[in-house]
Structure 1
Amino acid sequence: MDPAAQHSAKMAGDGFAEHYYKTLQNSPKLLPRYYKDVSKITRPGLDGTMRSSTLQDMIEDLDMLSSSDFDTVEVTSLMSQESHSGGILVVADGYFTSQERPARNFTQNFFLAPQEKGYFVLTDMFKFVDFSEANDAITEGAAICVKKLPPDATITLVEDAFKQFGEIRRGGVEVRHKRSFSYGFVEFKEESAAQAAIEASPVMFDWRSVYVEKKRPDYISYWETPSSGPGIIYRSEEMSVTKDPGNN
């Protein structure tokens, strides 16, 4: 493939995505302008079943923020490449956030077809991705649970406290704030790093001690019972972050 053409396709695809998600965040009613009547759009239904149709039938489903009761959209990974007949394939990963419930990851694939001036979305496939599904490949022995975190604990503070033990997997920090306590998970690239953190427990964290244990599958099911009350979940980004589409 011609490197110049590939570079041009990447610039066009990345530029499209930047404008698309800015529109989704700030002016969702304008989203149909990226499509044509022949566009094929796929979205999850209320029961989770994927359904596909043309723009006329799916126009109300383009605004995934409002239809799914989220507040903001963040793009964490973006890939664009030249495809068939001068088209461009764009793959975006990211997550929606809400003050009322945990963030939710998504992946969205676009095929941009050329037109007289620029491109339009010929196909658009959107899918929510469960956090557990996205992390099936994580080595269980490389993950730890950090107990008794302070209520103001953040992703950055946890990363700073535990990177001394080894390299942390990108997207491998999670902080959970429940009604009466806070805890977190850290996923290292190497099992030896997790073991070093466990052996160093208790670990100093923001001038207080936190306790480290091996992460077990039953932690989440135990702590997410209704008696633990409502909570907020923060996750570090899975891949290198692009500019926030909503703040440009």
Structure 2
Amino acid sequence: MTATTSNASAPVNGEATAVASHEVGMMFVHEYYTFLNKEPSRLHCFYNKQSTMSHGIQGEDTEVCHGQQASDNIHAKILALDFEDCKVLVSNVDSQTSLNGGIMIQVLGEMSNRGGPSQKFVQTFFLAEQPKGFYVLNDIFRYLKDDSEVEAEPEIAICPPAPEPVVEEKKPAVEEKKPEKKHEHKKHDKKADRKETKKDAAKKEAE
């Protein structure tokens, strides 16, 4: 299937110089999600036997499907996703010219399937050239989780510095006696001598 749209004046051919990669990207995105909404059972026609596709949820492992009609094929994966009345609101499309004339496309938007709540998604395509246009060589799709569902990184607790140990001055168990001053002994001795001389004098008078 060539990446064309019913509203386009000319098909999207393989010459990136003739049609800007941005225009190719916009036309492809419009046609791809139109098929997703109206004819999801034919969505595998955008791929071929060399294509690979993965479809999953942010942060979870997902299997890669190879080929358009193999046992683990892209067609079976698309049918297993059970698309019906799938509505897509595209918020951003980025396109770049790549190797050998290919085009890399990244899509951001919201998708609602079977009347369910809208989920944010990101999808990346690599369009490779073929004789009559492009085919999807690589397709990576991820539903994005809400901010509340994404686990916050644990905060690293900063421990305050440990307080310095307080060393208490120990008082001696037995208080040391202060030595008596020498001059106090001398004064005491002089007083005692005076008392003794007075007593001796009194005895002599009595005799």
TM-score scaled to structure 2, two decimals?
Answer: 0.55
Larger CA deviation: 90-99 vs 122-131: 90-99
After TM superposition, give the deviation of residue 74 of structure 1 in Å.
1.7
Distance 2:149 2:32 in 1: 24
Separation of aligned partners in 1, 2:124 and 2:106:
5
- 2:57 is aligned with 1:49: no
1:197-245 Cα deviation digits (max 9, x unpaired): xxxxxxxxxxxxxxxxxxxxxxxxxxxxxxxxxxxxxxxxxxxxxxxxx
* AA at the equivalent of 1:30: R
Amino acid at match of 1:36: N
- Which among 125, 129, 132 is matched to residue 144 of structure 2? 129
Where has structure 1 moved over 4 Å in runs of 4 or more?
A: 98-101, 133-136
Q: Which amino acid aligns with 2:129?
A: P
Q: Which runs of 5+ in 2 are unaligned?
A: 1-15, 152-207
Q: Is residue 53–residue 139 contact of structure 2 (8 Å, CA) maintained in 1?
A: yes
Q: Which residue of 1 aligns with 2:82?
A: 66
Going from structure 1 to structure 2, the CA distance change for 1:6 and 1:128 (only over 3 Å counts) comes to: farther
User: Which residue of 25, 30, 33 maps to 1:18?
Assistant: 30
Question: Measured at CA, do residues 5 and 134 of structure 1 come closer, stay the same or move farther in structure 2, by a change above 3 Å?
Answer: farther
- In 1, the alpha carbon distance for the partners of 2:66 and 2:141 equals 14
| Aligned pairs for 1:135-174 within 5 A | none
| Cα distance in 2, alignment partners of residues 89 and 38 from structure 1 | 17
- The corresponding residue for 1:75 is 90
| TM value normalised by structure 1 | 0.46
* Contact 1:65-1:73 within 8 A present in 2 as well: no
- TM-superposed CA distance for 1:41, in Å, is 0.8
1:118 equivalent in alignment to 2:130: no
d(CA) in 2 for partners of 1:64 and 1:93? 23
Indicate the SS of the match to 2:82. Answer: helix
Distance 1:133 1:17, change over 3 A: farther
Cα-to-partner distance string for 1:73-128 (whole Å, 9 max, x where unaligned): 22111111101111000111111125764321110000000011110000000011
Higher strand share: 1
Which residue matches 1:104? Answer: 119
- Which residue does the alignment assign to 1:35? 47
User: Is contact 2:125-2:136 (8 Å) kept?
Assistant: yes
**Percent of residue pairs bearing the same amino acid type:** 27
- Provide the aligned length of Structure 1 versus Structure 2: 131
List gaps (5 residues or longer) in structure 1: 137-248
* Structure-2 separation of matches of 1:63 and 1:76: 26
Could you say what secondary structure the match of 2:91 adopts? strand
Equivalent runs, 1:152-231 vs 2, <5 Å: none
Aligned 8 A contact 1:24 1:63 in 2: no
Q: How large is the RMSD of aligned CA atoms in angstroms?
A: 3.2
Change (3 A) 1:91 1:30: same
